[in-house]
Structure 1
């Protein structure tokens, strides 16, 4: 039998909180905000995903759209097949940073009723997606 000497752990040593960059999924399919809702739904179906990251002409993330969101829009009386994703998104966001702790991100997602949240770098480019466990 071999004895293993354990080093005592200091009482004030706490592990670093888990951050968004360690928990995010690789970037979901990314599309441009000038894409129509119909084409976006087709991209989701072929990629077998329920959300898409949306970017502008400069490649900056402008938001995330979900299949449920687009399907609900398509089922309204005012919908036409010319509606672009930029019209669905409105203002940019919400987003989270790679440095955001998981506790903060989860709280923000639950507070806003979001199933998924884009993770962006300092320049605003999408790096991945945080998704709540179902």
Structure 2
């Protein structure tokens, strides 16, 4: 008799470990890209996390912002209540990775 070992496969099982999707899944709270930097910092503080997964209006993940990213904007003299997360992501690209 041959023993067969099976692993449970998640919905993202075809994704290689260490890819952006894995990082995004571990990012913690998901927020919309139209959220202001000021509100995002408050969400981070409340969630006790150092990063947020950012989704667009189609619920597609478009990036990841860290506390360092947000505090840099706040400390730059820009008004954190007017700068949106999509403005920070800017040149990082908008590659849909998975639905939020």
TM-score bin (small chain): 0.5 to 0.7
Contact map agreement 1:55 1:61 (CA 8 A) in 2: yes
Offset at 1:33?
0.2
Q: How does 1:71-82 map to 2 (within 5 A)?
A: 71-77=71-77, 79-80=78-79, 81-82=81-82
**Match of residue 53 from structure 1:** 53
**CA RMSD, 1 decimal:** 2.6
**Structure with the bigger percentage of helix:** 2
Contact map agreement 2:53 2:64 (CA 8 A) in 1: yes
Offset at 1:20?
3.6
**Match of residue 62 from structure 2:** 62
Closer, same or farther: CA 126–67 of 1 in aligned 2, 3 Å: farther
Q: Structure 2 length normalisation: TM-score? A: 0.68
Q: Structure 1 length normalisation: TM-score? A: 0.52
| 4+ runs deviating over 2 angstroms | 18-21, 23-27, 91-95
**Bigger shift: 25-34 or 85-94?**
85-94
Structure 1 residues without counterparts, runs of 5 or longer? 1-17, 96-122, 128-134
Q: Considering only CA atoms, is the larger Rg found in Structure 1 or Structure 2?
A: 1
What are the superposed Cα offsets for residues 64-111 of structure 1, whole Å, 9 maximum, x if unpaired? 00001100110012x01211000000045588xxxxxxxxxxxxxxxx
Q: How does 1:1-134 map to 2 (within 5 A)?
A: 19-20=17-18, 26=26, 28-77=28-77, 79-80=78-79, 81-93=81-93, 124-125=97-98
Determine helix, strand or coil for the equivalent of 1:90: helix
Contact map agreement 1:31 1:54 (CA 8 A) in 2: yes
**Match of residue 9 from structure 2:** none
